[in-house]
Amino acid sequence: MPAFLLVTSRTPGRTKPPPEVDFVDASSLVLEGLLRKHGGALVRSCGEISVCEFPLAPSALACALALQARCAKDNGARKDPDRVFLRMGLHVTDTRAAELLLEAAPFGRIYLSREIHAQSQGAKLCFVAITLEYFRDLPEPLEIFEAIQRVEA
């Protein structure tokens, strides 16, 4: 069952991110490298949103976490107006549900569905149940979780 990861970025200090920090762009070497590493593929870019497909849910989540970690690392060397914040939504089989998760997620967070959560249990992750949300576009409510990478002490 394919899993979909949707990603968008924002730089709060600018109305439009400078090209050197907008690495979520479809032509981005960082995103393409992480997709390749985790077995994913860029399906399309729609404006500021990149739609990526993976054969397995754990691979999609691993890529999202790696992208978030890379963004945090790169932000350490940037001044406030140039810092990039990502938000991501993950769901299996349905890009519309992933898009709704993306829209619900605050910048800096990864939101995922119950299906991704169930398939991605791992020792280095914490999952926080956020809410059960009813969307008029979906026949059933969507249970939303946040993925948080554990920091080793």
Q: What is the 3-state secondary structure (H, E, C) of 59-106?
A: HHHHHHHHHHHHHHHHHCCCCHHHCCEEEEEEEECCHHHHHHHHHHCC
Question: Residue 108: helix, strand or coil by DSSP?
Answer: coil
Query: pLDDT tens digits, residue range 122-144?
Result: 657 889 999 999 999 899 999 99
Model confidence at 73, pLDDT cuts 50, 70, 90, reads: confident
How distant is the alpha carbon of residue 102 from its chain centre?
A: 7
As a whole number, the mean pLDDT across the chain is 83
Model confidence at 15, pLDDT cuts 50, 70, 90, reads: low
> How many residues in the chain?
153
More confident residue, 15 or 83: 83
Q: What is the pLDDT of residue 57?
A: 93
Q: What is the pLDDT of residue 83?
A: 77
Q: What is the pLDDT of residue 130?
A: 94
Spatial separation of the C-alpha atoms in residues 99 and 49, rounded to whole Å: 9
Model confidence at 25, pLDDT cuts 50, 70, 90, reads: very low
Strand arrangement, sheet containing 142-149? 41-46, 49-54, 3-10, 85-92, 110-113, 142-149, 125-133
Look at 62-71, 79-88, 111-120, 141-150 and tell me which has the smallest mean pLDDT.
Answer: 79-88
Model confidence at 72, pLDDT cuts 50, 70, 90, reads: confident
Q: What is the pLDDT of residue 11?
A: 66
Report yes or no on whether pTM surpasses 0.75: yes
- Token pair 């992750």 in the structure block, residue: 125
Percentage with pLDDT > 90 across the chain: 46
